[in-house]
Amino acid sequence: MLEEIFRDQWARVFAALVSYTGDVDVAEEAAQEAFAVAAERWARDGVPDNPGAWLVVTGRRRAIDRLRRDRTHAGKLRLLDRAEPGEEVTMDESAVPDERLELFFLCCHPALADEAQVALTLRALGGLSTPEIARAFLVSDETMKRRLSRARDKIRAAGIPFGIPREHLLPARLEAVLSVLYLIFNQGYGDGRADLAAEAVRLARILVGLVPGEPEAAGLLALMLLHDSRRAARVRDGEIVLLHEQDRGLWDVAQIEEGQALLDRALALGARGAYVVQAAIAALQTEERIDWRAVAALYDRLRELTGSAVVELNRAVAVAEVDGPRAALAIVDGLGLDGYRYFHSTRAELLRRLDDTAGARAAYRRALDLATTEAERRFLTRRLGEL
């Protein structure tokens, strides 16, 4: 129970403390201390009426104590001036403003390296511990600790602002936030690490709640929900299951409905970006009879938006359903994706359908060489055996 409250409250409390102290390190330490005090006291005395405000007030006191101990923090003197020794920190406990959006913009600032943005976002907004983030990205605790600490150092030293970006910067900065969440989602989705995908969904929900009128944010959440809804059906007995062979009974219907509703909302708001197009494709693919012509048209649109050869590869899969495998193969063979495993598995499938067994076998073997997960390897090995 406490753990749930902590997870819900972490981002708000941390954001409030960053705003108050103007320093991510001081805020981090103060937040941690506040949560430690809460864990002890709440277990004994029960949870206060307004746990968030309690944590913020406690965190502020801790931050001031820390700054008093460490007067060398020259830049924080302004804060100390506001709270002279002996003076009690008082605040209206009901009025802790929600500054999580500012925190999103801080963590996803493009002046930070992508991997630092991802790690900071999971730590600050997601409330994940450093070892949890390290595990998710398959690096050592020490590496992740250094990554986070370097990122916090840069925020302080370079003066990366905590706030809502100026109007003309806003679209690009929101885009940066979305791409961080999408990166987290894909890390979880592609590698089957469900916890990260679920975390990305949780973060996207928070973001959409903070900016309900932003079409592309709604589009991204729709995309995540629609993709994630098929998670349980994507792997069976440790093997990848293709869309048309998936057990639809395992699809999360409520999540599909929610994703569909969000997609409609995103479109109504005028979303036209890459996320909403992918969400629309995912929505079409949940239909009983898939409209492959519409899917191919959407991939065409997505290619215009992204210029990506991988998108063109996906379009070819839809084209195969509409115009047959030969037309699809012509598209695929024009793509320079030799190092990409799905390029070879797609070619293999098309060659198989064209009764080119030798060609299909060679392509499956190449895909097998490039496969990164056991579930993929099992799938490809079986297909190879069935030729």
Partner 1 sequence: MRYALLINERPGAYDGLTADERAAITAEYVALMRDERMISGERLQPAETATTVRVQGGRTLMTDGPFADTKEIFGGFYVVEADDLDDALELAARVPAARLGGSVEVRPLVER
Residues within the interface to partner 1 (CB under 8 A): 74, 109, 111, 157-161, 165-166, 169
Backbone angles phi, psi at 321, to 5 degrees: -75, -25
Closest approach of partner 1 to the CB of residue 157, in Å = 6
Closest approach of partner 1 to the CB of residue 111, in Å = 6
DSSP secondary structure string for all residues of 213-236: T-HHHHHHHHHHHHHHTTHHHHEE
For the chain, what's the residue count? 387
Closest approach of partner 1 to the CB of residue 126, in Å = 24
Closest approach of partner 1 to the CB of residue 155, in Å = 9
Contacts of residue 368, defined as CB under 8 A and 6 or more positions apart, other chains included, come to: 377, 380, 381, 384
Nearer Cβ to partner 1, position 157 or 358?
A: 157
Place of tokens 């406990």: 93
* CA dihedral sign, ordered 231, 232, 234, 237: positive
Buried b (16+ CB within 10 A) or exposed e, 359-383: bbbebbebbbebbeeebbbbbbeeb
- d(CA 387, CA 384) in angstroms, rounded, equals 6
Nearer Cβ to partner 1, position 111 or 330?
A: 111
Closest approach of partner 1 to the CB of residue 314, in Å = 34
Closest approach of partner 1 to the CB of residue 123, in Å = 20
Q: How many CB atoms lie within 10 A of CB 336?
A: 8
Closest approach of partner 1 to the CB of residue 166, in Å = 7
Name which of 340, 341, 346 is nearest 331 in CA terms: 346
The residues that bridge with 236 in the sheet, in sequence order, are 239
Nearer Cβ to partner 1, position 22 or 359?
A: 22
21, 27 contact by CB (below 8 A): yes
Q: What is the DSSP letter of 49?
A: S
- d(CA 383, CA 387) in angstroms, rounded, equals 7
Write the burial class of residue 94 (CB in 10 Å: 0-12 exposed, 13-18 middle, 19+ buried): exposed
Closest approach of partner 1 to the CB of residue 109, in Å = 8
56, 33 contact by CB (below 8 A): no
Closest approach of partner 1 to the CB of residue 100, in Å = 19
- d(CA 228, CA 222) in angstroms, rounded, equals 10
- d(CA 287, CA 283) in angstroms, rounded, equals 7
Residue type, 359: G
Place of tokens 């406690």: 58
Closest approach of partner 1 to the CB of residue 119, in Å = 19
Nearer Cβ to partner 1, position 169 or 330?
A: 169
Q: How many CB atoms lie within 10 A of CB 275?
A: 27
Nearer Cβ to partner 1, position 69 or 166?
A: 166
Nearer Cβ to partner 1, position 159 or 385?
A: 159
Nearer Cβ to partner 1, position 1 or 74?
A: 74
